[in-house]
Amino acid sequence: MNRLFDNSSEPASAFAGRTCWVVTDGKAGDEVPCLGLARALGLEPERRVVRPRALFAAIAPRGPIDPAERPGAAFSPIAPPFPDVLIASGRRAVPYLRHVRRASGGETFTIFLKDPRVSARVADIVWVAAHDALRGPNVIVSLTAPHLVTAAALEQALAAPDARIAALPAPRMALLLGGDSRHYAFDEKDRRTLVGAVESIILSGASVMITSSRRTPKNLIDEIRREIADTPRRAFLWAGDGNNPYLQMLAHASTIVVTADSTNMVGEACATAAPVMVYEPNGGHPRITAFLASLEKAGRIRRWLGRLERWPCAPIDDTSLIAREIAIRYVAWRALRDKRG
């Protein structure tokens, strides 16, 4: 972080009674951190999903909002009254944050998560991960991103286990699968390795809980499904059918294996007390490499080398620290505005 935290600060008291929008283009990787931060601030956000047409999406974050979604248009995602607080993420959301900030006369406190790819001055507060280069007086930096995997949520999941997870004998390993992205492409070697990991866990006598994402290659899911077909009492695969017991998997896992393409999932796994092993598919990016190296140096993760490992570790969760810092800055921002009249 950029400064020391006042541990006595309670974000919920700073934002009591305030309205909030979460503005994204609907991608879970952008929306979930915003929702996690809003909850940590004690806010009940309205989800506002922007869908700019191709031209306006292509020139974001530097261009204007799509006129078809202007505040006066039917079904506009940014129709007034404007909120007290706006939290946004994703480059397509930048023009909408900028528009609301200006149209509200500066009365909406704006927070942007991740590098906006324009000046940090685009919002009142910008949060970035430590592996991003952006810095500035209004930039908050932490190792992991905000998320919804709180200690309280994990405790609740343990107290009320999902029947599909409770049926699996302990110890239980969670396998969190991402998928193809800008920086990673799951090839045949990756599929063999991940299917082999499932096989080795079952042969070791443990159970395996597997969750996929919208980006997970279908052929990988199909191969895993075939692998676990003969051991239904020791394996559970969620591949988009019914409710995803993702939080249950995190709460009940003795070890977690997660693919490196999703820094959000890596951060969520690190919020648990379980050892976290990271599998790196084909590809990569220097910023993700730096992120993983920081977590490895902290003793929180290890790289997947073909076998499960266990070691003493403690949860890493920066969500509450980020929320406290934002609350401190919000109180100062509010006081300055009130002083100016």
CATH number, domain with residue 121: 3.40.50
Share the mean pLDDT of the chain: 94
160 in a domain, yes or no? yes
Asked whether the predicted pLDDT for residue 3 surpasses 60, the reply is no
φ/ψ of 173, rounded to 5, equals: -105, 135
Confidence of residue 185 (pLDDT cuts 50, 70, 90): very high
Three-state secondary structure of 53-74: CHHHHHHCCCCCCCHHHCCCCC
Asked whether residue 180 falls in the same domain as residue 293, the answer is yes
Classify residue 65 as exposed, middle or buried by CB count within 10 Å of its CB (0-12, 13-18, 19+): buried
- Sorted by sequence, the CB contacts under 8 Å of residue 324 that are 6+ apart come out as 5, 6, 7, 9, 11
4 in a domain, yes or no? no
Asked whether the predicted pLDDT for residue 1 surpasses 50, the reply is no
Asked whether residue 274 falls in the same domain as residue 210, the answer is yes
Asked whether residue 242 falls in the same domain as residue 294, the answer is yes
1 in a domain, yes or no? no
pTM for the model = 0.92
Asked whether the predicted pLDDT for residue 4 surpasses 80, the reply is no
* C-alpha–C-alpha distance, residues 93 and 107, integer Å: 19
Residue range 39-55, pLDDT digits in tens: 999 999 999 999 999 99
What is the SS3 assignment for 288?
A: helix
Asked whether residue 158 falls in the same domain as residue 275, the answer is yes
Rounded percentage of the chain residues whose pLDDT exceeds 90: 92
pLDDT of residue 241: 87
Domain holding 90, by residue range, is: 11-146+319-340
Asked whether residue 279 falls in the same domain as residue 295, the answer is yes
* C-alpha–C-alpha distance, residues 270 and 144, integer Å: 9
Asked whether residue 231 falls in the same domain as residue 182, the answer is yes
* C-alpha–C-alpha distance, residues 94 and 88, integer Å: 7
φ/ψ of 125, rounded to 5, equals: -135, 135
Asked whether residue 298 falls in the same domain as residue 176, the answer is yes
Task: List the beta bridge partners of residue 218.
Answer: none
**Range of weakest confidence among 10-14, 102-106, 251-255, 288-292:** 10-14
Number of domains, the chain: 2
Asked whether residue 160 falls in the same domain as residue 83, the answer is no
Confidence of residue 267 (pLDDT cuts 50, 70, 90): very high
Classify residue 104 as exposed, middle or buried by CB count within 10 Å of its CB (0-12, 13-18, 19+): middle
DSSP-derived secondary structure letter, 227: H
Rounded percentage of the chain residues whose pLDDT exceeds 70: 97
Question: From the CB of residue 2, how many other CB atoms can be counted at a distance below 10 Å?
Answer: 13
Residue 156, CB-side half-sphere exposure with 13 Å CA sphere: 8
Residue range 129-176, pLDDT digits in tens: 998 999 999 999 999 999 999 999 999 999 999 999 999 999 999 999
Asked whether residue 132 falls in the same domain as residue 180, the answer is no
* C-alpha–C-alpha distance, residues 197 and 252, integer Å: 19
* Residue among 199, 151, 148, 154 at smallest CA distance from 175: 199
Strand stretches in 189-270, DSSP E:
207-211, 235-238, 255-259
53 in a domain, yes or no? yes
Asked whether residue 89 falls in the same domain as residue 216, the answer is no
pLDDT of residue 339: 83
226 in a domain, yes or no? yes
Residue range 200-244, pLDDT digits in tens: 999 989 999 999 999 999 999 999 999 999 999 999 999 988 899
pLDDT of residue 12: 84
314 in a domain, yes or no? no
310 in a domain, yes or no? no
312 in a domain, yes or no? no
Encoded tokens for 247 = 């939080």
What is the SS3 assignment for 235?
A: strand
